[in-house]
C-alpha cells in the first residue's frame, strides 16, 4: 500500500473570539457527531501535538483502516478541554462525518496522562491506495463548559503588607471583554510573589514565554506565562502574565489558599507589569472562555467585587 500525508495544524489560541470560524455546535461526548466510532481502528498514519503546555497536550491522530481514514483526538491534561476544529483542502478524502465542530475532550487520569479518545470525523478514500491529504485547524480552551462557580471569598493574591491598585476591573476597556470580561488586573511590579486566591490543583502552566506587546500576536495563549488552578467546583483560577521561568508550583500539586504560585511579570498581551486573575471555564464553542464574576476578601469582614482604581492592602 502506498500513501503519503501532509497536514498542517494551525493553533490560533487567541483569548478573544474571532469571526474566523463559523459557529459550531457543542457536542457532549455521548452526542459526538461521529459516523465512525472506533478510536483504535487501523493504524496510525499521522500524529500531531497541539495546545502543548506544562501539564499535557492534545494529540490528534489520523488512523487508516482499509479505505477509511479516521481523525481521533485525545487530551493528556488532567482537566477537560473543549476543542474547536475544522478540516479543509481535502485531497482524496470523501468526508463521512462533519468537517468542523466543537468537541469535549475528557480529562486524562493524571497530568500528562491518558485521556479518553474522541473521534472527530472520518473519510472514505476516493481512490484506494492513492495519496491523501487535509488541513486541520484547531482552537482549544481549558475547562468543562458546564462548570459553574460556588460562592467563594477569594483572597488578595499577594503577600500581607503589600498594597496594589486595580488597573482594570470587570468589563475593563483595555482588554476585559469577551472571554476576559470578569477579570482583575493588579499593578504588581515584576517578580511580585503571586499567592493562590483559592485552594485547588495545578493542572496547567506555562513559564516559557518571553516579552509582551499589544499587537494581535500577543493574544496567542502561548505568548503568556500562566498558572491554571482547578477549584473544587470545577472552575479554573487563571493567573496570567507571569515572569519568564516564574512558575513556583508543580503540575498536579494541591495548593492551599495563600500558597505561593509564581512570580508576576509582564508577558503576553500586556502594556505594563501586572497580575491578571480570573475565574473561568471553557465556552461551549472551544473558542471563547466563560469568565465569572467573583468577590475578594478585601478586609477581615468585607467581601466585594474588585473596583477599578482602588488600592487593596493585603491583610491575610
Binding interface with Zn ion (CB under 5 A): 183, 185, 276
For the CB of residue 141, give the shortest distance to Zn ion in the complex, in Å: 17
Which residue number has the CB closest to Zn ion?
Answer: 276
Say which DSSP state 265 is in: B
If the CB atoms of residues 63 and 276 are measured against Zn ion, the closer one turns out to be 276
The DSSP call for residue 151 is P
Q: Which of 198, 274 has the CB closer to Zn ion?
A: 274
Phi, psi values for residue 13, rounded to 5°: -90, 65
| 274 secondary structure, DSSP code | B
Query: Given the complex with Zn ion, which of 148 and 171 has the nearer CB atom?
Result: 171
Q: For Cα atoms 140, 27, 217, give the angle at the middle one, nearest 5 degrees.
A: 20
Residue 107: all three cell numbers together: 480529562
Half-sphere exposure of 78 (CA within 13 A, CB side): 21
* Residue in 100, 91, 31 with CA at minimum distance from that of residue 71: 100
Give min distance, CB of 180 to Zn ion, in A: 6
Task: Name the residue nearer to Zn ion (CB basis): 71 or 185.
Answer: 185
Minimum distance of Zn ion from residue 174's CB (angstroms)? 8
Backbone angles phi, psi at 272, to 5 degrees: -160, 155
Smallest gap from residue 251 Cβ to Zn ion (A): 24
- Choose between 79 and 183: whose C-beta lies nearer to Zn ion: 183
Instruction: Tell me how far, at minimum, the Cβ of 182 lies from Zn ion, in Å.
Output: 10
| Torsion of the alpha carbons at 285, 291, 292 and 298, rounded to the nearest 10 | 170
Query: Which residues, in sequence order, are CB contacts of 19 under 8 Å at separation 6+?
Result: none
Amino acid at each position: 500500500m502506498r500513501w503519503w500525508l501532509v497536514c498542517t495544524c494551525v493553533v490560533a489560541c487567541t483569548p478573544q473570539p474571532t469571526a474566523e470560524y463559523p459557529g459550531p455546535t457543542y457536542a457532549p461526548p455521548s452526542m459526538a457527531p461521529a459516523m465512525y466510532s472506533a478510536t483504535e481502528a487501523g493504524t496510525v498514519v499521522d500524529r500531531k501535538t497541539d495546545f502543548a503546555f506544562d501539564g499535557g497536550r492534545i494529540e490528534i491522530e489520523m488512523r487508516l483502516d482499509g479505505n477509511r481514514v479516521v481523525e481521533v483526538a485525545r487530551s493528556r491534561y488532567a482537566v477537560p478541554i473543549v476543542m474547536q476544529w475544522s478540516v479543509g483542502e481535502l485531497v482524496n478524502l470523501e468526508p463521512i462525518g462533519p468537517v468542523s465542530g466543537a468537541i469535549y475532550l475528557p480529562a486524562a487520569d493524571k497530568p500528562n496522562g491518558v485521556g479518553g479518545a474522541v473521534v472527530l470525523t472520518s473519510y472514505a478514500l476516493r481512490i484506494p491506495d492513492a495519496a491523501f491529504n487535509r488541513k486541520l485547524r484547531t482552537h482549544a480552551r481549558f475547562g468543562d463548559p458546564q462548570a459553574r462557580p460556588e460562592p467563594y471569598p477569594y483572597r488578595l493574591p499577594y503577600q500581607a503588607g503589600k498594597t496594589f491598585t486595580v488597573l482594570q476591573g470587570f468589563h475593563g476597556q483595555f482588554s476585559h471583554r469577551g472571554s476576559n470580561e470578569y477579570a482583575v488586573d493588579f499593578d504588581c511590579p515584576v517578580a511580585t510573589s503571586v499567592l493562590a486566591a483559592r485552594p485547588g490543583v495545578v493542572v496547567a502552566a506555562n513559564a516559557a514565554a518571553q516579552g509582551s506587546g499589544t499587537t494581535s500576536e500577543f493574544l496567542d495563549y502561548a505568548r503568556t506565562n500562566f498558572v491554571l488552578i482547578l477549584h473544587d467546583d470545577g472552575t479554573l483560577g487563571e493567573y496570567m502574565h507571569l515572569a519568564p521561568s516564574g512558575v513556583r508550583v508543580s503540575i498536579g500539586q494541591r495548593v492551599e489558599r495563600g500558597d505561593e504560585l509564581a512570580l508576576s511579570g509582564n508577558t503576553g498581551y500586556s502594556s505594563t507589569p501586572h497580575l491578571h486573575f480570573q475565574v473561568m471555564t471553557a465556552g461551549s464553542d472551544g473558542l471563547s472562555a466563560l469568565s465569572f464574576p467573583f468577590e475578594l476578601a478585601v478586609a477581615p469582614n468585607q467581601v466585594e467585587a474588585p473596583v477599578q482604581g482602588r488600592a487593596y492592602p493585603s491583610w491575610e
